[in-house]
Amino acid sequence: LTAYTGSEYQLNRKETDILIYTKLTKKAIKIAFKAHKDVKGQDGLPYICHPLHLAEQMTTEYETCAALLHDVLEDSNMTEKDLSDFPEEVIKALKLLTHDNRIAYDVYIKHLKSNPIAKAVKIADLKHNLDTSRLDRITPKVLKRNAKYRHALEILEHEGE
């Protein structure tokens, strides 16, 4: 099912819905569980379900690690130093995925396009966040947020192709 490319493992098919298990991805899972311990998502489920869902959609080892860790720097007290054992490609993607609120959201999204790992993770992240079937209630706040996410998805998938 997987092939080693010399630097990372990759799945041999486009649609996965399975998690790539390597030493590196297992480490990312453990860190994500620790970072999101006792945190609930907007759907009321343990937050870790979200990065695991994204990770299942990734096709490379590095994408899987980035998906698992995509909210760790932004939403926990973990720092880049805590992730220093991960390859540079994963760290670069995580830096791009960590939104600095001083930067306009559209500018942040456009920067993600330059990195294939960050782009793949953010597209999966936006699609999962847009899935309102996970929510018990759809509020005006959710609708406003989803409009922003749909626009971001449009930028990542289509703008400037």
Amino acid at the residue 12: N
Question: Token digits for 131?
Answer: 């899935």
C-alpha 159/C-alpha 63 separation (Å) is 22
> What contacts 36, CB < 8 A, 6 or more positions away?
46, 47, 48, 51, 71, 72, 75, 76
CA dihedral 120, 151, 108, 127 (to 10 degrees): -30
CA distances from residue 83 to 59, 79, 110, 135, 158 in whole angstroms, order as listed: 21, 7, 24, 31, 32
Q: Can you give the pLDDT at residue 115?
A: 97
What is the crossing angle of helices 23-35 and 49-56, to 10°?
Answer: 150
Give 12's pLDDT tier (boundaries 50, 70, 90). low
* Structure confidence at residue 89 (pLDDT): 97
pLDDT class of 3 with cuts at 50, 70, 90: low
- Lowest average pLDDT, out of 10-19, 49-58, 111-120, goes to 10-19
Percent of the chain past pLDDT 70, that is, above it, reads 89
Rounded CA-CA distance 46/24 in Å is 23
DSSP H/E element including 10: strand 9-11
Lowest mean pLDDT, pick from 14-23, 32-41, 112-121, 126-135 = 14-23
* pLDDT beyond 70 at 160: no
pLDDT in tens, 86-127: 999 999 999 999 999 999 999 999 999 999 999 999 999 999
Residue from 101, 152, 83, 94 nearest 121 by CA: 94
Average pLDDT for the chain: 91
Structure tokens at 115: 């990195």
- pLDDT computed for residue 42 by the predictor: 87
